[in-house]
Structures are given as C-alpha cells and as structure tokens.
Amino acid sequence: MECRCPSDYEEVFSERAARATAARFRRRGLTGTSRTIVAQLTELGVRGSSVLEIGGGLGEIQVVLLERGLADFATNVDLAANWEREASALLDQRGLQDRVTRVCGDFVQLAPTLPRSDLVILNRVVCCYPDWRALLSHASSRAATHLVFTFPRPWLRPILWIENLFHRVRGRRFRAFIHPAPEMMALLENADFRPIADHRSSAWRTMVVARQPSVHPVT
C-alpha cells in the first residue's frame, strides 16, 4: 500500500515493531490498554455495528471486537504503512479480510472523507499527535454513539521527556505528548459527549464517552 507518511513515524512504528506486535498478539492476545478497552466496552454492553480505529496499527482490537460479535465492520486509519503486511496476514488468518477496511494517511486530513461509525477508538494515539484539538474534534465528528481513548498519566512526563530526547538526538521530529485531560474532556463534552467509564491504571487512563441524544422541544 502506498502511503506518504512522515518518515519519523515510519522509523518509530517500523516493520520490526509490526512483526513483534503481531507475534505477541498471536501468542498472548490483547495486552495493556488494548485489553482494557475491550473489557470496558464489554462491561458497558457497547456494541458498534461499525468501528473506526484511528492509529490502530496492526488492528488487533478490531479483530477481537469482530470475533466477539461486538462489531460487524471496522475501518483502520494509520499514518504508518509498515503495519500493512502483518495486518493483512492476520486478517487473512482470521478470515476477516472482507470485514476490515484499512486506510493509510493522516486521519485529521482524511476525516471529512470517512463515514461516521458507531464507535471510534483512539488507543495510545492522542499522545503521539501534536494537535490534540484537531484530532479529537474530527474523531468526535465521526463517532455516532461512542468514543474511547487512552492517554498517559501525568507522572509519566519525565519518562516522555527522556523518550523525546532520544528522538531529538536521532534527528527525528516525532514527539510524545501528555495533553491536558480536563481540556480534552471539555472539548468532547462541548461536542455533546458525556463520560460513562474512566479506568485508571498506573500508567494509562482509558475514557469511554457516549454521545448525548438530541433533545428536540415539543411543539
């Protein structure tokens, strides 16, 4: 698949990383925040006929949602094309090729061309994108009923500083971010979403928000 992505993302999210992620998923299933997301959606009874995952990488969350009957179809949008070979092999192995559409590119630029989905997922993505307002604004516009996103806890700031120093030394423009949680939630609330789950691990916070139903005055 041809994809004109920033070379920094291709270096960070490399083919080697894709192979390691695929091997780990086949061996252990979902781990970390990916497992938390599916657990939260299952507990809440959230089922989306259509799922859009932004920065989904290999797409293992989508695979599990499809196999568990929590989704019918999924779309994956990712900046890095290095995931495509392993993702295609995984979908073929699981018999899911015709139920997943994979798109390579910057979601913020592509968002107006994408259909709305019942559920939008951003797993460890907001922290990799500098303009969180544009990212969440477009993500919320594509979410018909629910949106779930994860982001690092504030105490990780020194660790991210070291990570960013490493990228700077390597001459990369890629940076990791800890964006302000209250402001992110305020943006989503202004887009008519309300939080229905807030899971906090030692390192990550997982938020599930639901779109408020429109209220029309009785005439």
pLDDT in tens, 72-120: 999 999 988 889 999 999 999 999 999 999 999 999 999 999 999 999 9
Q: What percentage of the chain reaches a pLDDT higher than 90?
A: 75
In a domain, 107, yes or no: yes
Report the CATH number that the domain containing residue 198 is assigned in CATH.
3.40.50.150
Position with higher pLDDT, 173 vs 25: 25
pTM of the predicted model as reported, rounded to 2 decimal places: 0.90
In a domain, 185, yes or no: yes
Position with higher pLDDT, 162 vs 14: 162
Question: For 40-61, what is the mean pLDDT?
Answer: 95
Flag whether pLDDT at 53 surpasses 90.
yes
Q: What is the pLDDT of residue 172?
A: 78
In a domain, 86, yes or no: yes
Minimal CA–CA distance to 150: which of 100, 195, 199, 218?
Answer: 199
In a domain, 130, yes or no: yes
Specify the number of domains making up the chain.
1
Q: What is the pLDDT of residue 214?
A: 64
Residue 154: give the domain boundaries: 7-211
CA 91: distance to chain centroid? 18
Beta-carbon contacts of 147 under 8 Å, excluding residues fewer than 6 positions away, are 119, 120, 121, 122, 139, 140, 188, 193, 208, 209, 211
